[in-house]
A and B are shown apart, each in its own frame.
Chain A
């Protein structure tokens, strides 16, 4: 019984944590968006000059550390790596470019849908389309090959970096950049953000919540357990949004959004495709990175890098407006992702040694 309720409970908890975050200061329709928050961390570290996107979001460090703590307790922490880390870095960057064209990763998209934003529903259609394209390649044999057990100094590197970033944020804030206006100036109290991250890191690890898996497993394996988490997540969030007066149905006047349907669709299609090839959505990548998977660490670094180039090269949208170079940036990122997909499906066959 508890096993069957595990997924919906995880979804409900994620929704409650999101509501707490945006009622206490986070941007309301993207309470905990992994792509936006990694972009904010890139800004805090001085990697881009987008003044609205600079804050070392404690939620992200919390997710990594929460996943690490629970995986150590359950003895599932395992330092692994070697499954095409550089390819994953590149895919991670392209996923965030897509997400910042749309304005939200899959988590952010769900939060926007729950706020009544129809633009995010267009994004959801793109996301599903991207997943379908990715599954075509997986069914044809796409693989980034296997990972192996590696040194714990690799596996613990990201959790240690997360602790260092938290120390800098709490004790040496002058080392970091902070937005004074715009998106990243909306922030819940540090302790609330960190607690939210820790809780969701633990819950994410136990439940294996993944926005890609929710849709992928329903369509291809007729397994609806993960999808039930997202239905629960959406229902609770819609109720929360209505109660707190954030619910605003329609395409227009949405807080963190733009109304260009084509690019909302294409941006999320790129996220869906890239995430399926990576084996999980950005949220899941952070959880795996916290539990010792260094291929996911490479992906997370790629996502931070993606946030940097999306803003330095004017690919990212800002509320109400597309980035000037978004079409060119999208075309290049999509071409890279498709090349990786085609190469690792049709040309990079296993040798007789099986690798």
Chain B
């Protein structure tokens, strides 16, 4: 399973990184460090048919994204 580190990059780069990765991956971990990126990525992945589990630790949101079965 791949991990994408999208912490610190400007909007909408986390979303673009996620969008590209979801084309080939069925499960991945995404790291972001803003509430905005967390919400946007969560909503995008959910709409694409993935389940998202987001955990916050300090400044980092860890999103575990898996294809719905």
Interface residues of A (CB under 8 A from B): 76, 78, 80, 83, 138-139, 143-149, 208, 210, 213, 216-217, 220-223, 278-280, 295, 354
Contacts and interface: CB of A to CB of B under 8 A. Distances in A.
Given A80-B8, A221-B19, 12 more contacts: A76-B35, A83-B9, A83-B10, A138-B16, A143-B9, A143-B13, A144-B10, A145-B9, A146-B9, A216-B12, A222-B47, A279-B11
Nearest to B8: A146
Interface string B12-55: 11011001000000000000000110001001100100000000
A279 B43 contact: no
B67 interface: no
Contact of A223 (B7, B35, B44): B44
B10 to A, nearest CB: 3
20 contacts: A76-B35, A78-B59, A83-B8, A83-B9, A83-B10, A138-B13, A138-B16, A146-B7, A147-B9, A208-B36, A210-B11, A221-B12, A221-B15, A223-B40, A223-B43, A223-B44, A278-B10, A279-B12, A279-B13, A354-B5
Q: Helix, strand, loop or mixed for chain B's interface?
A: helix
Nearest to B47: A222
Contacts of B15: 221
Interface of B: 5, 7-13, 15-16, 19, 35-36, 40, 43-44, 47, 59
A164 to B, nearest CB: 28
Contacts of B7: 146
B11 A280 contact: yes
Contacts of A279: 10-13
A279 B14 CA distance: 11
Contacts of A138: 12-13, 16
Contacts of B47: 222
B15 to A, nearest CB: 6
A324 B10 CA distance: 36
Contacts of A149: 59
B44 A221 contact: yes
A179 B8 CA distance: 41
A220 B44 CA distance: 11
Nearest to A280: B11
Contacts of B10: 83, 143-144, 278-280, 295
Contacts of A143: 9-10, 13
A151 to B, nearest CB: 15
A161 to B, nearest CB: 23
A80 B33 CA distance: 11
Max chain A C-beta neighbours (<10 A), residue from B8, B13, B19, B47: B8
